[in-house]
Amino acid sequence: MATLTDVTESATSRGEQTRELILSTALRLFREQGYGRTTMRAIATEAGVSVGNAYYYYSSKEHLMQAYYDHLQEQHRDAVAPILSTEKAFVPRLTGVLRTWLEVSAPYHEFAGTFFKTAAEPTSPLSPFSDESRPARDASVKIFRQVVDGSDLKLPADLEAELPELLWLMHMGIVLFWVHDKSADVRRTKALIDRSVPLVDRLLRLTRVPGVRGVANDVVGLIRSIKP
């Protein structure tokens, strides 16, 4: 609960407490019964407010999820800090960041599917590509920029500039895999991380090989050309 109230600066107007009460109740119910089975009526009742009041603070059920996403984001950023400040090698840095995300998100694995469902819709404000979630996305990319900058990697400047976003994309891919991962203790996702990170490392270092550098340049050019 404390983590939730910490998030916003101390109550600015009357309703802040109600807002947070609704949010924490919603997150709890989402976790306990899944997103689909949690009704707005249930959230309102459990929080001791009316349905209309819940809508006064969160204009839709999806927006409650958006709030969850921001919450997750902050937890991840905090949990990752010690790794980034101690570890210097690229592989453990990236592995650590990705596995930490797994840990932070674990309680929500079951209902995460529904989250990414709505996130996949381009018109949804929850889409990871939407303007509305730019702050969260930028914050996430920033983490990967730290992964790159603080590491022992030596890369061509242009590739290094694009790399954080590419790693964020990789992260999104892993999240997609995780959402579908039904193995015990998400073993398969963990395996994916542990095996793909060293591979990325090798690939990146390969960019020094003459024949490969050309392709790498093309990749960078492609990325740049399709950016909005």
Tell me: does residue 179 bind its own copies (CB under 8 A): yes
Q: Give the alpha-carbon dihedral of 76, 149, 142, 224, to 10 degrees.
A: -140
Name residues whose C-beta falls within 8 Å of residue 62's C-beta, 6 or more positions apart in sequence.
118, 124, 125, 126
Inter-residue contact 66 to 133 (CB < 8 Å): yes
CA angle 66, 69, 74 (to 5 degrees): 130
Binding partner at 157 among its own copies, DNA, none, C-beta below 5 to 8 Å by kind: none
What type of residue is 180?
Answer: H
Among 25, 137, 203, 213, binds its own copies (CB under 8 A): 203
Q: Judged by CB under 7 A, how many residues of this single chain contact DNA?
A: 22
- Interface mask toward its own copies for 119-138; x: CB under 8 A: xxxxxx--x-x---------
Paired tokens of 161: 């500039």
Tell me: does residue 113 bind DNA (CB under 7 A): no
Binding partner at 109 among its own copies, DNA, none, C-beta below 5 to 8 Å by kind: none
Q: Which is nearer to DNA, 37 or 187 (CB)?
A: 37
Tell me: does residue 59 bind DNA (CB under 7 A): yes
Stretch near DNA under the rule CB under 7 A, chosen from 57-65, 67-75, 92-100, 198-206? 57-65
Tell me: does residue 211 bind its own copies (CB under 8 A): yes
Cα–Cα dist 107/3, whole Å: 15
**In a 3-state reduction of DSSP, which class is residue 60?**
coil
Tell me: does residue 69 bind its own copies (CB under 8 A): no
**Closest C-alpha to 94, from 107, 80, 105:** 80
Binding site for its own copies (CB under 8 A): 113-114, 116-124, 127, 129, 176-177, 179-180, 188, 191-192, 195-196, 199, 202-203, 206, 209, 211-212, 214-215, 218-219, 221-222, 225-226, 228
